[in-house]
């Protein structure tokens, strides 16, 4: 993989300024419809600075035949204003593969951009900030997976999509938080085994283990955002907000899921809110998820007790603008890694979608878990 690491990812303000049109009557007219999407939290005083950026980004997108893939954890100015395709990492990867655009700009973290490049090797894939990493992806290397394979030669290895291309290339199949349980059970059935290695999120693996009779061999990686939630925090919020519905992402510790009303991937959490429309809801996940749902559900009170992902926060409107203007930073993945990582992703995509998307609602039992890291 070749990536140019820049000392400063976002150019100085003078460089950005030179890319922006003046906020005149014409730009105001052309960006009015965008302002309507964010006027509940962006003042008319602050809008011209944002509107100029949105206008410049849209213009460059058109010139360069580019689409912007915005993850659910992107802040509302990116998610609502410039995201052409919005969703969780699996949805973004799938849509990226279908897109006819020549360039993809990943408003998300590095492993997502690599996944887009693996699925779309002929497209130019840009990420505004190469230092937008992920604590899960950083927790394991390809060499460590090779070592596990030699220790457990007859045990299939499932890797969460939150891993580098090199790690995916060493694994048998990928999974997401939407389909983790189904993937683990499907690969065990295919190999005729009762043990599966699941990398690298210990909490996701333990949450899967509590809902399958299989033994799960876990790696001790974790998401620095979700591992911070605690059952005590949930109890305190329930005392302060009686009746609040608590939804947790399965990267949270098992005790947190036990204290929640529902658990699932970001797409599943979104669907739950759309379907149930509770009066008050607490989303135990990255803060931007609530921010993005508020505009769709102004009548719901989103109780705020969330954590920000420092990696996602590195992506900004200025970074996206510079990415398009200067072609930075292009993601490339070595062909031999692309071919093998693609195999693991395709194995996942070939499985039917789960009938019940969030199977973390299945009752938990004593899990069979062995730590392998």
Rule CB under 6 A: say whether 78 interacts with ligand SF4.
no
Q: Which of 162, 177, 263, 292 binds ligand SF4 (CB under 6 A)?
A: 162
What is the nearest approach in angstroms of ligand SF4 to the Cβ of residue 136?
Answer: 5
Q: Which of 19, 70, 107, 136 binds ligand SF4 (CB under 6 A)?
A: 136
* Phi, psi dihedrals of residue 222, rounded to the nearest 5°: -155, 160
Q: Which 3 state secondary structure label does DSSP give 344?
A: helix
Q: Which of 9, 286, 318, 359 binds ligand SF4 (CB under 6 A)?
A: 286
Count of residues that interact with ligand SF4, criterion CB under 6 A: 13
User: 86: Cβ–Cβ under 8 A, 6 or more apart, which residues?
Assistant: 70, 71, 72, 74, 79, 292
Provide the 10 A C-beta neighbour count for residue 354. 15
What is the nearest approach in angstroms of ligand SF4 to the Cβ of residue 113?
Answer: 12
Q: Of the two residues 95 and 251, which places its CB atom closer to ligand SF4 in the complex? A: 251
Per CB under 6 A, the segment of 97-105, 166-174, 217-225, 338-346 that binds ligand SF4 is 217-225
- How big is the CA angle at 268 (ends 99 and 86), to the nearest 5 degrees? 30
Per CB under 6 A, the segment of 9-17, 36-44, 131-139, 342-350 that binds ligand SF4 is 131-139
* Segment (H or E) for 216: strand 215-218
Q: Of the two residues 96 and 289, which places its CB atom closer to ligand SF4 in the complex? A: 289
Residue 263: closest CA among 206, 219, 319: 206
Distances from the Cα of 241 to the Cα of 229, 236, 302, angstroms: 17, 9, 11
What is the nearest approach in angstroms of ligand SF4 to the Cβ of residue 125?
Answer: 17
Q: Of the two residues 129 and 185, which places its CB atom closer to ligand SF4 in the complex? A: 129
3-state helix, strand, coil in the chain (%, to 5): 45, 15, 40
- The residues of the shown chain that bind ligand SF4, judged by CB under 6 A, are 73, 109, 134-136, 162, 223-225, 286, 309, 311-312
């Amino acid at each position: 993989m070749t990536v140019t690491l820049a000392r400063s990812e976002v150019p100085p303000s003078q460089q950005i300024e030179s890319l922006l049109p003046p906020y005149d009557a014409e730009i105001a007219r052309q960006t009015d419809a965008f302002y309507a999407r964010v006027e509940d939290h962006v003042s008319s005083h602050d809008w011209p600075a944002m509107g100029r950026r949105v206008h410049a980004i849209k213009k460059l997108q058109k010139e360069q035949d580019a689409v912007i893939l915005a993850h659910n954890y992107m802040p509302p100015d990116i998610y609502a204003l410039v995201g052409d395709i919005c969703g969780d990492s699996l949805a973004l990867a799938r849509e990226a593969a279908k897109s006819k655009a020549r360039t993809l700009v990943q408003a998300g973290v590095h492993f997502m951009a690599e996944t887009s490049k693996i699925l779309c090797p002929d497209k130019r894939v840009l990420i505004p900030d190469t230092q937008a990493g992920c604590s899960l992806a950083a927790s394991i290397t390809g060499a460590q997976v090779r070592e596990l394979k030699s220790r457990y030669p007859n045990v299939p290895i499932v890797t969460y999509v939150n891993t580098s291309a090199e790690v995916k290339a060493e694994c048998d199949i990928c999974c997401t938080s939407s389909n983790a349980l189904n993937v683990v059970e499907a690969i065990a059935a295919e190999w005729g085994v009762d043990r599966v290695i699941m990398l690298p999120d210990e909490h996701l693996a333990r949450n899967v283990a509590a809902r399958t009779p299989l033994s799960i061999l876990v790696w001790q990686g974790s998401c620095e955002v979700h591992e911070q939630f605690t059952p005590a925090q949930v109890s305190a919020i329930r005392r302060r907000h009686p009746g609040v519905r608590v939804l947790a992402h399965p990267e949270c510790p098992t005790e947190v899921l036990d204290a929640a009303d529902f658990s699932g991937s970001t797409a599943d959490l979104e669907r739950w809110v759309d379907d149930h429309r509770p009066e008050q809801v607490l989303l135990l996940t990255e803060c931007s998820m609530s921010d993005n749902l508020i505009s769709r559900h102004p009548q719901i009170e989103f109780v705020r007790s969330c954590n920000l992902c420092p990696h996602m926060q590195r992506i900004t409107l200025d970074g996206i603008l510079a990415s398009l203007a200067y072609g930075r930073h292009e993601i490339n993945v070595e062909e031999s890694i692309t071919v093998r990582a693609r195999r693991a992703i395709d194995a996942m995509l070939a499985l039917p979608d789960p009938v019940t998307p969030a199977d973390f609602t299945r009752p938990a039992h004593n899990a069979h878990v062995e730590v392998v890291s």
